């Protein structure tokens, strides 16, 4: 229902910068935390762009995404990694060295499990899955993406495709994106429509939830040399090593 074939194709070919430019900074964060190898669980892995960079850096990758079309692209791109279709709020998270969720994945309201109550449960599950010293690296979109009660429309085009997006943000911090795609298939253009909704989160709320689980939290506006878009924040949540155990 989301990121179907045409939007997945367009996102992969036309909107790859976020994943590709974030990856070097994320790998550097891992190395700074003495994670030189091991399993990375990539929640909301998309078409496998980040996974490919992680595998190149000698990590193992297990990627999860709710979009079947995205997972199909990821499996083709990174055959060395393991991928599964599913909700990041429901998937079983195996023991791992790191968990990543890049590109505001935690904001999406794609299923009934993606709400504020389920977010704290996800943080608990990630904490329990991480080895001592493991890290959870992710980013969120904050309120203020669009001036409330206004509508923003824009479009992006590439070879044989165009995507039109209408965005609105309400008083409850819900961002709605109405997306229309046109993709040339054979001699004709094919149209598809999707509606994506996101719960926007304040930095302090996410920090408090992470702290309550037991994480040590660091916030950033960038992944290495890549600066995040306006009103986006990245988090490094560390599971500390218990020296008394």
Q: How would residue 113 be classed by pLDDT, with cut points 50, 70 and 90?
A: low
CATH number at residue 185: 2.20.25.110
The confidence band for 45, taking pLDDT boundaries of 50, 70 and 90, is very high
- What whole-number percentage of the chain has pLDDT above 90? 93
92, 192: one domain? no
Q: Which two tokens stand for residue 60?
A: 């193992």
Is 244 part of any domain? no
The verdict on 66 and 179 lying in the same domain is: no
d(CA 198, CA 108): 4
Higher-scoring residue by pLDDT: 136, 241? 136
Mean pLDDT of 43-55: 98
Whole-prediction pTM:
0.95
Q: Do residues 93 and 43 share a domain?
A: yes
Q: Are residues 182 and 129 in the same domain?
A: no
CA gap 170, 181 in Å, rounded: 24
Residue 245 lies in a domain: no
Please choose, from the candidates 41, 202, 192, the residue with its C-alpha nearest in 3D space to the C-alpha of residue 107.
202
- Angle between the N-to-C axes of helices 68-77 and 5-14, in degrees from 0 to 180, rounded to the nearest 10: 50
Question: Based on the structure, what is the number of domains in the chain?
Answer: 2
Of the candidates 63, 59, 87, the residue with the CA atom closest to the CA atom of residue 75: 63
Residues 70 and 188 in one domain: no
Q: Can you read off the two tokens belonging to residue 72?
A: 């199909």
- pLDDT tens digits, one per residue of 142-186: 999 999 879 999 999 999 999 999 999 999 999 999 999 999 999
Nearest-10 Cα torsion for 92, 8, 5, 158: -170
Distance CA 177, CA 168 (A): 7
By CB atoms closer than 10 A (0-12, 13-18, 19+), residue 241 is exposed
Assign residue 40 the CATH number of its domain. 3.40.50.150
Supply the pLDDT for residue 243: 59
Residues 74 and 169 placed together within one structural domain of the fold: no
- Indicate whether 39 pLDDT > 50: yes
pLDDT of residue 185: 92
Domain housing 59: 5-142+201-238
Same domain, 13 and 68: yes
Q: Is 216 found in the same domain as 155? A: no
Phi, psi of 222 (to 5 degrees): -160, 160
How would residue 112 be classed by pLDDT, with cut points 50, 70 and 90? low
């Amino acid at each position: 229902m989301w990121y179907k074939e045409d939007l997945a194709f367009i996102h992969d070919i036309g909107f790859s910068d976020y994943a590709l430019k974030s990856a070097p900074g994320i790998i550097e964060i891992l190395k700074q935390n003495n994670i030189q190898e091991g399993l990375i669980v990539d929640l909301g892995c998309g078409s496998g762009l980040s996974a490919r960079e992680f595998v190149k850096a000698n990590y193992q990758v297990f990627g999860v995404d709710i979009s079947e079309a995205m997972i199909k692209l990821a499996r083709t791109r990174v055959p060395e990694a393991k991928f599964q279709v599913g909700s990041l709020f429901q998937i079983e998270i195996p023991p791992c060295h790191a968990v990543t969720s890049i590109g505001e994945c935690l904001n999406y309201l794609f299923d009934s499990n993606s709400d504020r109550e389920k977010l704290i449960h996800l943080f608990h599950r990630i904490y329990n899955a991480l080895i001592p010293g493991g890290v959870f690296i992710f980013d969120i979109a904050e309120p203020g993406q669009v001036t409330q009660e206004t509508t923003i429309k824009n479009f992006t085009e590439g070879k044989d495709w165009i995507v039109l997006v209408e965005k609105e943000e309400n008083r409850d911090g819900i961002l709605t994106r109405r997306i229309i795609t046109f993709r040339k298939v054979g001699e004709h253009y094919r149209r598809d429509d999707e509606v994506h909704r996101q719960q926007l989160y304040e930095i302090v709320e996410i920090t408090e939830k992470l702290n309550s689980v037991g994480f040590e939290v660091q916030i950033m506006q960038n992944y290495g040399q890549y600066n995040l878009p306006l009103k986006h924040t990245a988090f490094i949540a560390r599971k500390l090593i218990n020296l008394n155990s």
